[in-house]
Amino acid sequence: MIDYIEGHTLLINKPLRWTSFDVVKKIRNTLRTALNIKKIKVGHAGTLDPLADGLLIVCTGKFTKRINEFQAQEKEYTAEFTLGATTPSFDLETEVNETFDYNHITEDMLKTTAESLTGNILQTPPIYSAIKQDGKRLYEHARKGEDVKIKEKMVHVSKFEIIKVEMPKAHVRIVCSKGTYIRSLAQTFGKNLNSGAHLSQLTRIRIGKFELSQAIDIQEFIDSFSLTNNPATEH
């Protein structure tokens, strides 16, 4: 029996192009209907961009008090970096704005550059992000074409591995601290290779001890309430 009102932690495989809030909203509405209640607390523990998929922790009821605890845990991602081109958003949200030569880049260079971006590193968040500065989200400044100086922050990258190379694409695995922007890592990676790069695919596969293999799809969660005499509906 799952008591969603008292509190529960859900591991969701966030679909591509859904916002993290889309997932929260769908779960909240499903629970309100299934449990015949007007209100229930639901929140996620760590935003995934719409163009990323993978593990999203969603908390209900009193378990929403644990969101900060989950957000602080180590994250693991698999990603695809496309070399030779940059975008203003550092990913596919915006169009390519500059191209570069990448024929000089070898696999050894990729590995050496990845290793150089491990440990404690200063990172500049992308302007197309939800971080607040001067009372506004950075993406609000970006969409108005405003020039804004973005504050650097310290993050920790414990692993940055090259999994496979299919030029101009490099497939990587990254283990990092809370607040690390993989998009920014891609941008710096390309710059350090005397070229350019942007994030073209991202999947979060782990948060702390929780793994993507344990997660369920949104539709699977919704379908669980269609079962006859589901204990979760007995409130």
Cβ atoms of 90 and 81 within 8 Å: the answer is no
Structure tokens, 189: 């990676």
How far apart are the C-alpha atoms of 92 and 115, rounded to whole Å? 25
Q: Annotated catalytic, 22?
A: no
Burial (0-12, 13-18, 19+ Cβ within 10 Å), 87:
buried
For residue 9, give the nearest of 35, 29, 27 by alpha carbon.
Answer: 27
Establish how many alpha carbons lie within 13 A of residue 125's alpha carbon, considering only the half-sphere containing its beta carbon.
Answer: 21
* Distance (Å, whole) CA 62 – CA 6: 6
Angle at 205 between CA 203 and CA 207, to 5 degrees: 120
Could you give the CA distance from residue 26 to residue 41 in angstroms, rounded to a whole number? 13
Answer whether the bond into residue 88 is a cis peptide, omega within 30°.
Answer: no
Task: Please pick, among 49, 91, 217, 223, the residue that the annotation labels catalytic.
Answer: 49
Q: How far apart are the first and last CA of the chain?
A: 11
Cα 109 to chain centroid, rounded: 27
What lies within 8 Å, CB to CB, of 213 at 6+ separation is none
Read off the tokens for 15: 């679909």
Catalytic residues: 49
